[in-house]
């Protein structure tokens, strides 16, 4: 990635923005999600995904995001 990304989320959506672009996606518009100790993946389709490196989040932010994902009803892949 060429530009820093600011990410935020709530119970209904995930948002990401840079100086050049921004977007918000409802959790139910995603195909699914996956996570391990190094990365969180938000799948837009079986082959297209957004990556969130865990080191870019505090432990509290990562826990909060994973809680929202688990509560969203979105399937874990």
Q: Is the pLDDT of residue 74 over 80?
A: yes
Compute the mean pLDDT over every residue in the chain, rounded to the nearest whole number. Answer: 95
- The pTM (predicted TM-score) of the whole model is 0.90
Tell me what pLDDT residue 1 has. 58
How far apart CA 4 and CA 43 sit, in angstroms, is 20
Predicted confidence at residue 35, as pLDDT, reads 98
pLDDT score recorded for residue 3? 80
């Amino acid at each position: 990635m060429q530009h820093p990304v600011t990410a935020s989320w709530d119970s209904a959506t995930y948002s990401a923005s840079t100086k050049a672009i921004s977007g918000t996606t409802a959790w139910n518009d995603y195909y699914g999600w996956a996570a391990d100790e190094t990365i969180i993946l938000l799948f837009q389709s079986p082959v297209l995904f957004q990556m969130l490196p865990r080191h870019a989040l505090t432990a509290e932010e990562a826990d909060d995001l994973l809680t929202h994902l688990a509560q969203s009803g979105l399937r874990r892949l």
